[in-house]
Amino acid sequence: MSEWEDVVTTGLIGTDRRPVPDALPASWGSGLDHAYDPAHAVLSIAARHRAASRAGDLLLSCPPGPTGPPNRAPLASRAAHEVLARLLSPPQVDLLNLWLVAAAQSGQQASAAYWTPLAMVAARTAELDRSAFGAAIGDRGAWFIEQNPQWARLAKDLRSPPPDEAAPQHRVAAVEVTDDAVRADPELIMYAGTLWSKQLSSAVLEIICSGQLQQRAVRYATAVGVQLPLQHYELVRSALQTPIGLRFVREALLALERTAWLRLEIRSAFTGEPISVERLEIPQW
C-alpha cells in the first residue's frame, strides 16, 4: 500500500482508530505534528499532496539550456541609460546612433534591459548603425538576438564585418570646406567632418537663420547639430540675437540646439565630466 493510500485510509476510518502515517515523502508529508492534532495533520497532508500532484515532479534528465558568452566590457552609467531611455520613447534613430557610437568609442555597453527595444528598432530600419549597435550590446547581446528567429537577418548583420572594413573603397573622407563654399552650397557642410572653424560654424548658422533653406531647414539643422563642434555651442546664442520672423527658422534652431545639447549630455554621461555651458532657452513660436 502506498503512503498516500495510508493517509486516505486514516482519513476514512478516523484518526482515533488509525494513526497518521509517519513515513511520508518529504515533498508533502514532513514538518507536521501528528500527535498534537492528528485530524489537522491529515487535512494538511491532503492539501499538500494535491498541490504536489498538480505541480508534478522535476525532470531528472532535463538538459541545461544554452548559455550565452559573457560580456566583459563595463556597463554605461545610469545617466547614460537615462538618455537612452528618452531616445527610445519614441525611437529617434539618428540620435540613437549618437548614443551607440559614444558607447562603442568609450568601451561601455548598454544594459540587457535595453537589448530588446534596441533590437526592435534595428529590425524595423536599416538606418540604425549596426556596427555601433553590435559594439554597444557586446557578444552576449548579439547571442541574445540570435535566439529570436524573427531577428535572424539582424543577427546576421551584427556578425558581418562593418561596411567600412568590408568595402574601404566606399569610404567618404572628410574634405576641407570653407565658409564661402558653404554659403554657395549649404550641403557641402555635410562632408566637412567635425573639424570646423569658428567662422565655418557661424556661416552655417547664418544660412539657417536666413530662411533660404525654407522647408529643408529643420532637416538641415538637425544634421548640423550632429556635427557642430561642441565648443561652438555658444554660437547658437549669438544666432538667436538675430530677429527671427519665420516659424521654420525657429523650429530649425530648436532642432539644432536639442541635438547639440544631447551630444553634450551623452559626452558627460560617458566621460563623467560635467557640462560646462548653460543650456540655451529658445522660446516656442
Q: What is the DSSP letter of 17?
A: T
97 in Cβ contact with 132 (< 8 Å): yes
Q: Is the separation of the CB atoms in 248 and 214 below 8 Å?
A: yes
Domain boundary among 168, 187, 211: 168
Q: Can you give the residue range of the structural domain that contains 224?
A: 179-271
Give yes or no: residues 150 and 189 share one domain. no
222-278 pLDDT, tens digit each: 999 988 998 998 888 887 776 666 788 888 888 999 999 999 999 999 999 999 888
Same domain, 149 and 208: no
Residue 229 DSSP SS3: coil
Instruction: Tell me, yes or no, whether 192 and 226 share the same domain.
Output: yes
Is 69 a domain residue?
no
Instruction: State the first-to-last Cα distance of the chain, in angstroms, to the nearest integer.
Output: 86
On whether the CB atoms of residues 154 and 119 are closer than 8 A, the answer is: yes
CA 89 from centre of chain: 11
Asked whether residue 283 is assigned to any structural domain, the reply reads no
Q: Please indicate, yes or no, if residue 20 is contained in any of the structural domains.
A: yes
Would you say residue 61 lies in a domain?
Answer: no
> Which residues, in sequence order, are CB contacts of 22 under 8 Å at separation 6+?
34
Domain presence at residue 279: no
What's the length of the chain?
285
0.75 cut: is pTM over it?
A: no
Residues 96 and 26 in one domain: no
Residues in the chain predicted with pLDDT less than 70, given as ranges, are: 1, 4, 15-17, 25, 27-36, 56-60, 161-175, 194, 242-245, 282-285
**144 near 173, Cβ under 8 Å?**
no
* Residue ending a domain, choose from 168, 202, 221: 168
**Is the domain of 227 the same as that of 255?**
yes
